Amino acid sequence: MKFSTKKTLVATIALAALTGPFAASSAFADDSEPSPWLVRVRMLEVQTQQGNDANAAAGVGADSIKAANRSQPEVDVSYFFTHNISAELVASYPLSHQVQLNGKYIGGFQELPPILNLQYHFDGMGNFVPYVGAGVMYMRTMNTSLDGGALGLQQNNWGEDVQLGADYKLDNHWLLNADIKKTWVSVGLDSAATGGTLLQLHPDPYIFGVGVGYRF
């Protein structure tokens, strides 16, 4: 996806998230409807892929760089514009990843990966409520230390994701949740000496989550 298309998608979803509370007010006018706000706490398993472009001059082969997997908790907030349509913002504190080149440790970095998705929730299955979603991911890298400082990472990186999940309602407020996201993002690997980009990394993580939620 070209950057201009990504910016358009970001703007569209952000606009929906900002205007949704006003546009959806009538959908929740009935006191029998729950609040449009839902907060979940999940435990995540972030499984990155071993993917990168080759650079013969630098002696780096294709798919030879791997950022280590990581597990950690996260909090996400959803707003329901209607009974079926919602926006979800996934927030997390920075994840730390170790990096290997051909199986050899070469350093690490941190990344902050908020995700904003537009979702559709399906009816007709009782307390079991599956949903699908898609949206945008922003990955900001920081505290990079690779190859003794000889390599760096581009800080601001945009990607996209798709999502499949399900809630199981325990009562009118509490629920259990399972969720999987597939993301696509490219991160430039830079030379500290020249400032130029040597190649693109493609960690493209799968993000598996299980947790609990509360509908206000």
Q: What's the CATH number of domain 3-29+40-215, 1.10.1380.10, 3.40.190.10, 1.20.1300.10, 2.40.160.20?
A: 2.40.160.20
Which candidate, 208, 155, 209, 159, places its Cα nearest to that of 186?
A: 159
Q: Which of 22-31, 142-151, 170-179 has the lowest mean pLDDT?
A: 22-31
The model's confidence at residue 92, banded by pLDDT at 50, 70 and 90, is confident
pLDDT of residue 58: 87
8-state DSSP, 48: -
The tens digit of pLDDT for each residue in 15-57 reads: 444 444 444 444 444 446 789 999 999 999 999 999 999 999 8
Instruction: Please tell me the predicted confidence (pLDDT) of residue 64.
Output: 97
- 105-114: average pLDDT: 96
Distance between CA 132 and CA 118 in Å, rounded? Answer: 9
Average pLDDT over residues 173-179: 98
pLDDT value, residue 34: 84
Position 32 scores a pLDDT of 61
Digit-coded pLDDT (tens) for 52-72: 999 998 889 999 999 999 999
Helices H / strands E in the chain, number of each: 1, 14
Q: What's residue 177's pLDDT?
A: 98
What integer pLDDT is reported at residue 31 of this predicted model?
47
Buried b / exposed e over 85-95, threshold 16 CB at 10 Å, is bbbbbbebeeb
CA atoms within 13 Å, Cβ hemisphere of 77: 8
Residues present in the chain in total:
216
Average pLDDT over every residue of 177-183: 98
What are the φ/ψ torsions at residue 188 (nearest 5 degrees)?
A: -75, 130
Locate tokens 């798709």: which residue? 162
Q: How many CB atoms lie within 10 A of CB 204?
A: 17
